[in-house]
Chains A and B, each alone.
Chain A
Amino acid sequence: MFSTGFKYFLGVTVVSIAALIMSLFVLDQLAIAGVAISMLITVTALLAGIATATHDGQTTTSTPDSSGELATQSIWPLVSGVGVVLLALGLVTSSIVFFAGLIVLLGALVEWMVQSWSERASKDTNYNALARKRLLNPIEFPILAALGLGVVIYSFSRIMLTVNKTTGASLFIIFGALVLVGGVLFAIKPNMKRSIGVAICVLGALGIVAGGVASAVSGEREELVEAAAEGHFTHAECGPEASKYFDKLAEGTLSLRSSVSAIVVYQDGELIANIQGLVKPQKTLTIGRSIPTNIVFRNATEGEFRLVAHLGDKVADESTDGETHKNETCTQLVAPGAEQSLTLKISKPSSAKNAYYLYIAGAEDKKIELVVP
């Protein structure tokens, strides 16, 4: 009659249908979750069908040989149960939990199926275990390794965010040295006991994870917390710098520098533009309308400065709360001797009344006129 497998899959199908109906009411946006659950329903219904049709994969109709060993204890029913719970929980909480449940459930189902299949493969338990390993180890090992590595790497990153910069550098040096020493040891003593190597690695990993947990608990280092609180990662304001923390060498735009429209240099208390093709430094820069134009700002002074592009005033209307605002964009603070690029795209022409210019924040008289014809 109804096989065990059939009953199980039928159960899951029914539960997922219930979940789908529930999610119809709970979620505003059903799109992804809906598709996922519908697929789950399809898959489990199919599996239920296959399970009855094949009598749970039993090839002979004879009752199992009672002298054969009993099926081993399996944790997979439990794990798949957890998966289903996570799935349901995910529907009402967050999609991450939902997808975690989905992954756990599918993984458990695969493991379970292969296990129960392998237990009936022959009467020899050892052979059966081997068959299971053959099939699943190539999948299990990489996944487990990736998970393990992920945990270690994440823990390490927590540590690095907590310790101060110099300790961070020293830690890197120590870790590197340890890896080197370990490698040398393995190289000169190739037939060292395997268990010793494993023990070292496991201990090292555990140490890092423990350090990671401790760091996560104690929180990120002061300056990062402060920087995030000041919101200076977003750089909404172009005025004089209020914060003392900034990316001092934000020159990560090397490719821009090979053919920029102009290099604007702040030097000896003067702001000048070096325009490709013009030998003499300029005080005016002409850029076309609606053309993305790259400008590099080079700070050749001893102080820290940022370049601001003043692109007219925003007229008073609802979007500006009835006030006129300056329409400005700027670079980050640039350290002495460093450079940064600024991309402008201006769609309205400049005029005497609506003049555009580049200037140094905090030294408004250091200007370069921007002409947009």
Chain B
Amino acid sequence: MSRRQFDNWLRATIASVRVVLRKVFKPLVVVAGVSVVVAGCATNAPQDTWQPKGPNSKLIDDLQQPVFAVAGIIGLIVAVAVIYTMIKYRDRGQPIPEQIHGKPALEITLTVIPALILAVVSVFTFGAIFKLAKTDDTQMIINVTGQQWWWEYDYPAQNEFGITQPIITSGQLVMPVGTKVLLRETSRDVIHSYWIPALNGKRDAVPGRVHTLRLEADKPGIYAGQCTEFCGLSHANMRMEAVALSKEDFAKWVANQQAPYVAPAKETLAQQGEEVFLNQCVRCHQVNGLMRADGTPAIAAPDENVWSGAAPNLSHLMSRNTFAGAMFDLLSKQCRDEVWNAPSEVVGAKYLAGVTEECLNQKDLRAWLRNAPEVKPMYANPADLAVSNGKYRGMPYLALSEDDITKLVAYLITLK
């Protein structure tokens, strides 16, 4: 191809691309723009950062709204100016205007104005940062530990709240409303990050360090969140909820968590399930108060089987309504909606009802017991465990029979 031929070809191509763009591009931009705007109106957006539900998130919101407004106005002015200039002075073959080199007065003004705006913003930002970092007004402490791919919560003994012995749970963080709760976060393996958008910003959970995060909810409710620091295979499935209960409801929850273990009645399916549990599950999962056949307490040894050294404590599994890093519901769809969409006056009572036999989401729980790594990606293939000293990241496939699964479910449902 000669130079001339090539030029002609290029010109023709550009012309046809232009035609296509003119026909397709404009409608495309309009559709994209409209859908972005419409998406912003979604009502079912539990992790919306613009709907603060507690003083800490409100503090952030009060900062970000005006800053966003100022930035939006400035952005609009700049965009309009740029577009105006582009159209007004586009190349129509007119002679090139006189070229000048800078206007010190204008340039200095245009530097000083943003600097001033930023200075004002930074004053308020620092104020908010320091307020969010405060720890000396704490009323309640909850230790939060991240591991691949679920959150564990332990409540140290705090007599003011009736917590006389430590409580351990996972997935759903239960807290009293109107109480300044301080999370003390750490991790057992890699870096995770705790984020309940409705209640506060994010805070990294780093192995070997303790980072604090303030949480306080104004009203009872279930507030969704997720891990926001990439932490491996199932990072996207590492979710959690903060459940805020009224003070009375919280006291009931505490009492239930501290209630002693009730062994299933003799010669029931649940009792057979307990046996299977002792054989298969107790090497990882602790159930407080569970005894072995020889009368010794069954102490789990997750440190010998799981890379992070932990597996969820199942003592009161059925008092929460999600499982496996809040990835699955323990409640059937209908029962779930009833709790989650309940108005805040009754949500506590509904939550405390726990998972009843009729409401249990048999399907997902059974699938989990049948083959956990199949429903949640985890490093649990026995052939690939050389790098982790033979320890699993997550729950392995246990080759249980359907019979055993039925027994186990009958047993788990008793762990109220």
Q: Evaluate contact between B301 and A347: CB separation under 8 angstroms.
A: yes
CA distance A259 to B204 in the complex (A): 13
CB distance from A370 to the nearest CB of B (A): 11
Binds A, one of B6-14, B138-146, B351-359: B138-146
Q: Quick one: which of B201-228 are within 8 Å of A by CB?
A: 207-212
What string of 1s and 0s marks CB contacts (under 8 Å) between B263-307 and chain A?
Answer: 000000000000000000000001000000000010101110000
CA distance A361 to B154 in the complex (A): 30
Q: Evaluate contact between B309 and A290: CB separation under 8 angstroms.
A: yes
CB distance from A150 to the nearest CB of B (A): 37
- Please tell me if B317 contacts chain A, counting CB pairs below 8 Å: no
- Please tell me if B156 contacts chain A, counting CB pairs below 8 Å: yes
Option from A260, A290, A349, A371 in Cβ contact (under 8 Å) with B210: A260
- Please tell me if A128 contacts chain B, counting CB pairs below 8 Å: no
- Please tell me if B136 contacts chain A, counting CB pairs below 8 Å: yes
Q: Quick one: which of B161-188 are within 8 Å of A by CB?
A: 165-168, 182, 184, 186, 188
CA distance A348 to B310 in the complex (A): 11
Q: Evaluate contact between A373 and B141: CB separation under 8 angstroms.
A: no
Q: What B residues does A277 contact at CB under 8 A?
A: 135, 138, 141, 182, 184, 212
Q: Evaluate contact between B138 and A291: CB separation under 8 angstroms.
A: no
What string of 1s and 0s marks CB contacts (under 8 Å) between B303-329 and chain A?
Answer: 100001110000000000000000000
- Please tell me if B152 contacts chain A, counting CB pairs below 8 Å: yes
Give the bracket for the number of chain A residues in contact with chain B.
20 to 34
Q: Evaluate contact between B166 and A371: CB separation under 8 angstroms.
A: yes
- Please tell me if B157 contacts chain A, counting CB pairs below 8 Å: yes
Q: What B residues does A348 contact at CB under 8 A?
A: 299, 301
Most chain A beta carbons < 10 A, residue from B154, B167, B207: B154
Q: What A residues does B184 contact at CB under 8 A?
A: 261, 276-277
CB distance from A341 to the nearest CB of B (A): 11
Q: Evaluate contact between B211 and A259: CB separation under 8 angstroms.
A: yes
Q: Evaluate contact between B208 and A292: CB separation under 8 angstroms.
A: yes
Q: Evaluate contact between A294 and B145: CB separation under 8 angstroms.
A: no
Q: Beyond A259-B210, A261-B210, A348-B299, is A289–B182 a contact (Cβ under 8 Å)?
A: no
Q: Evaluate contact between A290 and B302: CB separation under 8 angstroms.
A: yes
Option from B138, B167, B208, B303 in Cβ contact (under 8 Å) with A347: B303
CA distance A304 to B168 in the complex (A): 38
How many Cβ-Cβ contacts under 8 Å join chain A to chain B? Answer: 77
Q: Evaluate contact between B143 and A286: CB separation under 8 angstroms.
A: yes
- Please tell me if A279 contacts chain B, counting CB pairs below 8 Å: yes
Q: Evaluate contact between B188 and A290: CB separation under 8 angstroms.
A: yes
CA distance A87 to B182 in the complex (A): 66
CB distance from A285 to the nearest CB of B (A): 8
Q: Beyond A259-B209, A261-B210, A277-B184, is A289–B138 a contact (Cβ under 8 Å)?
A: no
Q: Beyond A260-B210, A277-B182, A277-B212, is A286–B299 a contact (Cβ under 8 Å)?
A: no
Q: Evaluate contact between A276 and B309: CB separation under 8 angstroms.
A: no
Option from B145, B152, B156, B309 in Cβ contact (under 8 Å) with A284: B156
- Secondary structure of the A side of the interface? loop
- Number of residues of chain B lying within 8 A (CB) of chain A: 33
CB distance from B60 to the nearest CB of A (A): 20
- Please tell me if A288 contacts chain B, counting CB pairs below 8 Å: yes
Most chain A beta carbons < 10 A, residue from B135, B136, B210, B308: B210
Q: Evaluate contact between B308 and A286: CB separation under 8 angstroms.
A: no
Nearest B residue (CB) for A345: B309
Q: Quick one: which of A315-373 are within 8 Å of B by CB?
A: 343, 347-349, 351, 371, 373
Q: What B residues does A373 contact at CB under 8 A?
A: 154, 165-168
Nearest A residue (CB) for B165: A373
- Please tell me if A78 contacts chain B, counting CB pairs below 8 Å: no
Q: Beyond A286-B156, A292-B208, A347-B303, is A276–B135 a contact (Cβ under 8 Å)?
A: yes
Q: Evaluate contact between A279 and B138: CB separation under 8 angstroms.
A: yes
Option from A278, A287, A291, A294 in Cβ contact (under 8 Å) with B141: A278
Q: Beyond A260-B210, A277-B184, A290-B302, is A371–B156 a contact (Cβ under 8 Å)?
A: yes
Q: Evaluate contact between A279 and B166: CB separation under 8 angstroms.
A: no
Q: What B residues does A347 contact at CB under 8 A?
A: 301-303, 309
Q: What B residues does A260 contact at CB under 8 A?
A: 210
Q: Which residues of B contact A (CB under 8 A)?
A: 135-136, 138, 141, 143, 145, 152, 154, 156-157, 165-168, 182, 184, 186, 188, 207-212, 286, 297, 299, 301-303, 308-310
Q: What are 28 A-B contacts with C-beta separation under 8 Å? A: A258-B209, A261-B210, A276-B135, A276-B210, A276-B212, A277-B135, A277-B182, A277-B184, A277-B212, A278-B141, A279-B136, A284-B157, A286-B143, A286-B156, A286-B157, A286-B166, A288-B310, A289-B309, A289-B310, A290-B188, A290-B308, A290-B310, A292-B207, A292-B208, A347-B301, A348-B299, A371-B166, A373-B165
Instruction: Add 17 more A-B contacts to A275-B141, A349-B286 (CB < 8 A).
Output: A261-B186, A279-B138, A288-B145, A288-B154, A288-B188, A288-B310, A289-B310, A290-B303, A291-B188, A292-B207, A294-B208, A348-B299, A349-B299, A371-B166, A373-B154, A373-B165, A373-B166
Q: Which residues of A contact B (CB under 8 A)?
A: 256, 258-261, 275-279, 284, 286-294, 343, 347-349, 351, 371, 373
Q: Which 7 A-B pairs have the closest CB atoms?
A: A290-B309, A286-B156, A373-B166, A347-B303, A277-B182, A259-B209, A277-B135
